[in-house]
Amino acid sequence: GEDVEQSLFLSVREGDSSVINCTYTDSSSTYLYWYKQEPGAGLQLLTYIFSNMDMKQDQRLTVLLNKKDKHLSLRIADTQTGDSAIYFCAESLNTGGFKTIFGAGTRLFVKA
């Protein structure tokens, strides 16, 4: 079946790196995404990775994909208080349409 799992909470100190992990079950995933949700707002796409890539870097964000283990991670370097939010992992399924499944979200707390 289709499932995306994430840990629910992560707490880090300002200036440290944050690593948010995600596992997914569907091997037909084409793209995997990380979204950010701030309080009272919709989700905002942070970055994505195509399923045949291992790593993608975008400024402070590094995405690592281990397709064999179906494991995705998001590393935020030099975490700031403004990074406090909920981060969602999502996979786009290669079902002939466009069907995206989201995890439950990881709430990141950044302590000053």
Partner 1 sequence: NAGVTQTPKFQVLKTGQSMTLQCAQDMNHEYMSWYRQDPGMGLRLIHYSVGAGITDQGEVPNGYNVSRSTTEDFPLRLLSAAPSQTSVYFCASSYGDRDGYTFGSGTRLTVV
One of 24, 103, 108, 110 touching partner 1 (CB under 8 A): 103
Residues 74, 25: Cα–Cα separation, whole Å = 18
56 contacts partner 1 (rule: CB under 8 A): no
Given the rule CB under 8 A, which of 12-20, 58-66, 67-75, 85-93 is the region that contacts partner 1?
A: 85-93
Q: Of 50 and 109, which CB lies nearer to partner 1 in the complex structure?
A: 50
Distance from the first to the final alpha carbon of the chain: 41
Work out how close the CB of 110 gets to partner 1 at its nearest, in angstroms, rounded to a whole number. 21
Residues 11, 85: Cα–Cα separation, whole Å = 11
Strand 99-102 with 43-50, pairing? unpaired
